[in-house]
Amino acid sequence: MTGTLDRQTVAAAGEARERIEHWRRERNAVILAHNYQLPEVQDVADYVGDSLGLSQQAASTDADVIVFCGVHFMAETAAILSPEKTVLLPDLEAGCSLAGTITADQLRAWRDQHPGAVVVAYVNTTAEVKAESDYCCTSSNAAAVIRSIPADREILFCPDMFLGAHLERVTGRRMHVWMGECHVHAGIDPGRLDRMREAHPDAELLIHPECGCTSSTLYRMSARDLEGPATVVASTEGMVRRAGASPASTFIVATEVGILHRMRQLAPDKRFLPASDDAVCGYMKRITLPKVARALERGEPVVTVDAAIAARARRAIERMLAAGPATAPAAA
Ligand code: 13P
Ligand code: SF4
C-alpha cells in the first residue's frame, strides 16, 4: 500500500513538474523560492534565496509573471517593486506569524507616543505597516540600515524582539523594540541548543537572528560560559554561504529546517544538524508543486497592493534595497 502511495506521489510530482515547465515558458514566468520552501519546490525555482535576494530578483526580472514560492509579505513586496508584473502566490493562506504581530493602527499609535522617531520595519510586515515606516530592512542588512540613521535620532524597531535585541548588541544603538516574535524561531529551545553543542563540540553554530536563543547564546559566549567553535548569526542566505565557506565540517543549524536542503546541496560532504526538527514553518510549507503548477496554469491567485499604500511602502523598501546586501557573515 505504502509503495503504491509513494508511486502515486512520485507520478503526481512528475506531472506537476511537466505542467510547471510548460506554463513557465508559455507565460514568460520566473519562479522565486525562499530558502524554507519544500526541497522539490526549491528544485524547480529559477532563484532560491533570502528575503533581500528575492526582493532584488523581483525588482530586476524581465519576466512577465513572478511566481512567489514564499509567504504573503514577500509576494506583496514583489508586487510593490514590480507593479507592472503579475505576482502569483500559489496559496494565499501562506502568511507569517511575525508579520501578524503588528498592524498599521498599532504602529501609528506607537509612533504617536514617540513624535520625531524614525520607524524601521523588518521586511516581515504587511504592506500597510511598511507604508507607515521610514525604512524597511531584512535580516541581511538590518545592521547597515540602523547604522545609516543619525545617532541622535530615536528609533522604533518592529516587529521582532529578538532581531531588535541582536541589532542593539551589534550596533550599540538603543532602540524601542516591538515585542513580536516568530513562533518557529521563538520555539527553538536554548537549553537543547546547549546540549547539542556539548554533544558536538566541533560543530559550528549557524543562527538566524529571529531565534530566541541568539541573545542567550551570544551572551553566554561573551561571558566565556560557553566555549567552542565559531557562532555565526546571519540571514538564511548568509547561513547558506557560511556553510559552504567555513572550514568546519559539522554545523548546528538554528532556523527553519527547509534551509538544510540548500546546505546539503552546496556542501554534500559536510554534516548539518537541525537545532530542532520541529522548526517547521507551516506557512512556507503550504506551497507545494501541484499548487505552483495550478497557479501558473490559471494565472492566479494574484497578489496586488493598493496603489496609495504601495507608493508609501515603496519609499521604505527602496531604502532597504539601497542598503545593499550584507557583507559575508563574520564568526563571533
Ligand atoms: P531571511 O530574510 O533571512 O531569509 O528570513 C526570512 C524569514 O522569514 C525568516 O523567518
Ligand atoms: Fe514568518 Fe516565522 Fe515563517 Fe519566517 S519562519 S515566514 S518569520 S512564521
Return the pLDDT at 324: 79
> Does a structural domain hold residue 327?
no
| 51 Cα: distance to centroid of ligand 1 (angstroms) | 6
Q: Please give the Cα distance from 316 to 164 (Å, whole number).
A: 18
> Does a structural domain hold residue 331?
no
* Averaged pLDDT score across all residues of the chain: 93
Q: What is the pLDDT of residues 215-270, one digit of tens each?
A: 667 666 655 565 667 889 999 999 999 999 999 999 999 999 999 999 999 999 99
- pLDDT exceeds cutoff 90 at 77: yes
- pLDDT exceeds cutoff 80 at 196: yes
End residue of a domain, out of 167, 183, 199: 183
> Does a structural domain hold residue 213?
yes
Q: Considering its fold, how many domains does the chain have in total?
A: 3
89 CB-contact burial (10 Å; exposed 0-12 / middle 13-18 / buried 19+): buried
Nearest-CA residue for ligand 2 atom 3 is 281
Task: Please choose from 35, 48, 51 the residue to mutate so as to test ligand 1's pocket, defined by most ligand atoms within 8 A of CB.
Answer: 51
Among 197-206, 274-283, 323-332, which is the least confidently predicted range?
323-332
For residues 196-215, give the mean pLDDT: 90
Task: Please choose from 51, 96, 253 the residue to mutate so as to test ligand 2's pocket, defined by most ligand atoms within 8 A of CB.
Answer: 96
| 1 Cα: distance to centroid of ligand 1 (angstroms) | 38
- pLDDT exceeds cutoff 60 at 2: no
Q: Please give the Cα distance from 158 to 198 (Å, whole number).
A: 34
For residues 68-73, give the mean pLDDT: 98
CATH of the domain at 173: 3.40.50.10800
Does residue 231 share a domain with residue 209?
yes
Nearest-CA residue for ligand 2 atom 1 is 96
Q: What is the pLDDT of residues 153-178, one digit of tens each?
A: 999 999 999 999 999 999 999 999 99
For residues 17-22, give the mean pLDDT: 98
Terminal Cα-to-Cα distance of the chain (whole angstroms): 50
Ligand 1 atom closest to Cα of 34?
Answer: 4
End residue of a domain, out of 153, 183, 213: 183
**51 ligand 1 Cβ < 6 A:** yes
Ligand 1 atom closest to Cα of 184?
Answer: 10
Nearest-CA residue for ligand 1 atom 3 is 235
Does residue 220 share a domain with residue 135?
no
Q: What is the pLDDT of residues 278-294, one digit of tens each?
A: 999 999 999 999 999 99
Task: Determine the distance from the C-alpha atom of residue 197 to the mean position of all C-alpha atoms in its chain, rounded to a whole number.
Answer: 25
- pLDDT exceeds cutoff 70 at 203: yes
- Domain hosting residue 68, numbered range: 2-95+284-305
Kindly give, in sequence order, each residue whose CB lies less than 8 Å from that of residue 153, ignoring residues fewer than 6 positions away.
116, 117, 118
> Does a structural domain hold residue 49?
yes
Return the pLDDT at 224: 56
Helix or strand (DSSP H, E) at 140: none
Nearest-CA residue for ligand 2 atom 8 is 96
| 23 Cα: distance to centroid of ligand 2 (angstroms) | 29
> Does a structural domain hold residue 324?
no
> Does a structural domain hold residue 29?
yes
Residues 284 and 94: beta-carbon distance below 8 Å: yes
Q: What is the pLDDT of residues 88-130, one digit of tens each?
A: 999 999 999 999 999 999 999 999 999 999 999 999 999 999 9
Does residue 174 share a domain with residue 152?
yes
Identify which ligand lies nearest to the alpha carbon of 159: 2
Order the strands of the 47-49 sheet from edge to edge: 47-49, 29-34, 65-69, 86-88
**141 ligand 1 Cβ < 6 A:** no
Residue 253: helix, strand or coil by DSSP?
strand
Nearest-CA residue for ligand 1 atom 4 is 50
Does residue 241 share a domain with residue 223?
yes
| 95 Cα: distance to centroid of ligand 1 (angstroms) | 13
Residues 61 and 30: beta-carbon distance below 8 Å: yes
Does residue 293 share a domain with residue 264?
no
Return the pLDDT at 6: 82
Return the pLDDT at 222: 59
